[in-house]
Structure 1
């Protein structure tokens, strides 16, 4: 390990970044150095710009991934190398937020009734019933399911913030069936390797298989089930602040985007056109045919 990498990892730990973020940042910086065959302390703004364009134009990476690479390099230069040029020279890309993909209740029901093993059903039911992020569910231990208080303990959510979410009685039944079948010892969802939790890639493979099995074109992932959880809560009258706390969002603005996909909220909001006393013509303009 180079001195620069060690120093950057120490800086990240001193600022209480998660181990996952530390691995991601150091991997990005290693790729940056490998691309130019030089140490990053010998590189500057034009090299950063060229590398980000390489990720965009040649590797065709998503904007979210490119933004993550920019954040890693920004931390390296501004925090570890104490250089101040980064924000002036490397413009932050404009964030274009998309509306979240939401499955209907009927689609979720078809998913959870689909033919699959007990472990996968328990995991997908957990994502939908509690709105967990992908890794939050995989990091759960058996002891995090508190059946006495009917809560699920998220020990380390995004940003290392702990929280609690509701434990659905129906989910508890599903988890108990799963527990009697697999009897997990430490991790609630054990991976292939002893002592390790299930990997996120394995969950994505399961989701793609089930989506094709159901013949549904909408994307399916743990985050889609999380979106569906939030949207369906909003449809049933749960307030945004409560949904924010359950999802572990820092800002209410992030949670408010579910208003755009909530059927109940949209249908409950009348259009101003409905209040205008206009006449509805029964014939097409310029012709005699009825509409």
Structure 2
């Protein structure tokens, strides 16, 4: 006996392409184990020779369809509910042409949906989507037909076309590796082609932090401009990322404790501290404001400024200060870390302040610190 399952007409009704995959429910013949409910089968009318699809793939396609219109909390509820419901079913996919007409790269859309589900930053998702889309267009073959030499050829082509460094090229390799590893783990491909694509060797360049003298020159260059002073000190006093400063909210500032809650990578909140100098500038700059973005535009409607505008402010301050090297927000973050280490801050504490998921990331900043120690050793101990 078979029963055809109707598509839900609520929130899922707009996703007709997904639900056009006809589903039938039929109990499997045979005696189940004692105390165990009988298993059911989705796709009893599937024609012979059609591909089997496991539970993960069905969930992935549903999440991918919903991800652009439904927030993360609902997606997580759907994912949990599906895991519970599908435990009583065996899942199979009809061999239709529906997804081919709708999605050019269905596996990429599923992967991007997974990134949204994991709360990856929009900038990261955009970067991955653009690069992987370019790669799949260039290769022009199904993901299960792509081999290691295909990817190596594309990476070489991409590097030559865009004039990128070996460091950036290796970063692109990591993006491709993340994508194909996901496909392999979820059963979309049998073999992971990235398993035989070696790490691209490169010489890591350590950024040179601003000297204390250069920092003071930038402070002088801000003059009486309150916003410039606030922006500069936010980076120098807290070591925040540019996205964290741009997203900083007035209601998250505790003036008494001189702390502010920022939203870091992976949408993780953390407290950061700031100096007495910044406290003075903030009190004047906020001028009674109790909510909204901390750093705002100078003209009505006084909205929060974006990452690019923040970078422009820092660049203009450095020009006024007459600093020849290129100065940008991440260099100020690097300067904060280097100066903190020079003053004796433990690496573990610095890692927490900067919001690093791994302390090895913080060790990069310690390289400049070690060069200073070597200089002092040569001066006083050798």
Asked if TM exceeds 0.5, the reply is yes
Instruction: State whether structure 2 residue 221 is matched by structure 1 residue 118.
Output: no
Alpha-carbon separation, structure 2, partners of 1:135 and 1:171? 19
Matches within 5 A, 1:241-256: 241-256=348-363
Q: Match for 2:178 among 66, 71, 75?
A: 75
Alpha-carbon separation, structure 1, partners of 2:216 and 2:208? 16
* Greater RCO structure (CA 8 Å; 6+ sep): 1
Is the contact between residue 140 and residue 187 of structure 1 (CA under 8 Å) also seen in structure 2?
yes
Q: Match for 2:249 among 125, 141, 155?
A: 141
Unaligned runs of 5+ in 1: 275-291
The alignment partner of 1:114 has SS state of: helix
The alignment partner of 1:261 has SS state of: helix
Alpha-carbon distance, 1:59 to partner: 0.9
Which stretch shows the higher mean deviation, 80-89 or 105-114? Answer: 80-89
Task: Check 1:10–1:233 CA distance in 2 against 1; reply closer, same or farther (3 A cut).
Answer: same
Unaligned runs of 5+ in 2: 1-101
Instruction: State whether structure 2 residue 108 is matched by structure 1 residue 108.
Output: no
Matches within 5 A, 1:201-220: 201-220=308-327
The alignment partner of 2:287 has SS state of: helix
Q: TM-score, normalised by structure 2?
A: 0.62
Is the contact between residue 260 and residue 266 of structure 1 (CA under 8 Å) also seen in structure 2?
no
Q: Which structure: larger Rg?
A: 2
Q: Match for 1:188 among 280, 288, 294?
A: 294
Instruction: State whether structure 2 residue 155 is matched by structure 1 residue 52.
Output: yes
What residue in structure 1 maps to residue 18 of structure 2? none
Instruction: State whether structure 2 residue 128 is matched by structure 1 residue 128.
Output: no
The alignment partner of 1:269 has SS state of: helix
Alpha-carbon distance, 1:43 to partner: 4.2
Task: Check 1:61–1:240 CA distance in 2 against 1; reply closer, same or farther (3 A cut).
Answer: same
Alpha-carbon distance, 1:197 to partner: 4.1
| RMSD, aligned α-carbons | 3.1
Task: Check 1:214–1:260 CA distance in 2 against 1; reply closer, same or farther (3 A cut).
Answer: same
Q: TM-score, normalised by structure 1?
A: 0.78
